Amino acid sequence: MANMISWNGRRADIAIDLGTANTRVAARGSGMVFDEPSLCCFSNGGTRPRLVAAGEAVRAMVDRTSDSLKVTRPLRRGVLQDIDATRELLAYAMSSSLGRRRLRAPRVAIGIPADATQAERSALLTAASDAGLGPVSLMSEPFAAALGAGLAVHRPEGSMIVECGAGTTEVAVISLGGICLTRSVRIGGAALDTALADHFHFRRKFLIGEITTERLKCDLVRLLGAPDGEESQMIEAKGRSLTSGIPGVQQVPVSELGQVVAKHVAHIVEVVRDVLNQTPPELSHDIHEKGLTLTGGSAVIPCIGQAITAETGLRVHIPDHPHQCVMLGLEAMLAS
C-beta of residue 286 within 8 angstroms of C-beta of residue 159:
yes
User: Running DSSP on this structure, what letter comes out for residue 181?
Assistant: E
d(CA 94, CA 163): 25
- Which residue in 79, 21, 11 sits closest to 55, CA to CA? 21
Percent of the chain with pLDDT over 70: 93
Q: Would the pLDDT of 8 be above 80?
A: no
pLDDT tens sequence across 51-79: 999 999 999 999 888 889 999 999 987 77
- Identify the pLDDT of residue 101: 59
> For the residues 101-126, what does the mean pLDDT come to?
86
Domain 189-257, CATH among 2.60.40.10, 3.30.1600.10, 3.90.640.10, 3.90.1150.10: 3.90.640.10
Confidence of residue 230 (pLDDT cuts 50, 70, 90): low
Considering Cα of 225, then 162, then 263, then 166, what sign does the dihedral take? positive
Cβ neighbours around 185 below 10 Å, total: 17
Confidence of residue 314 (pLDDT cuts 50, 70, 90): very high
3-state DSSP: the chain helix, strand, coil percent, rounded to 5? 40, 30, 30
> For the residues 232-250, what does the mean pLDDT come to?
93
Domain extent listing, the chain: 6-34+80-144+326-334, 152-187+261-322, 189-257
CATH number, span 152-187+261-322: 3.30.420.40
Same fold, 152-187+261-322 and 189-257: no
Cβ neighbours around 214 below 10 Å, total: 19
Q: Would the pLDDT of 2 be above 60?
A: no
- Which residue in 101, 127, 214, 94 sits closest to 166, CA to CA? 214
C-beta of residue 113 within 8 angstroms of C-beta of residue 78:
yes
pLDDT tens sequence across 260-288: 999 999 999 999 999 999 999 999 999 99
**Helical H segments across the chain, by residue range:** 56-59, 83-98, 118-130, 141-148, 189-204, 210-224, 254-278, 281-290, 302-312, 325-334
CATH superfamily of 6-34+80-144+326-334: ATPase, nucleotide binding domain (3.30.420.40)
* Vertex 103 angle, CA 10 and 130, to 5°: 95
Q: Would the pLDDT of 319 be above 50?
A: yes
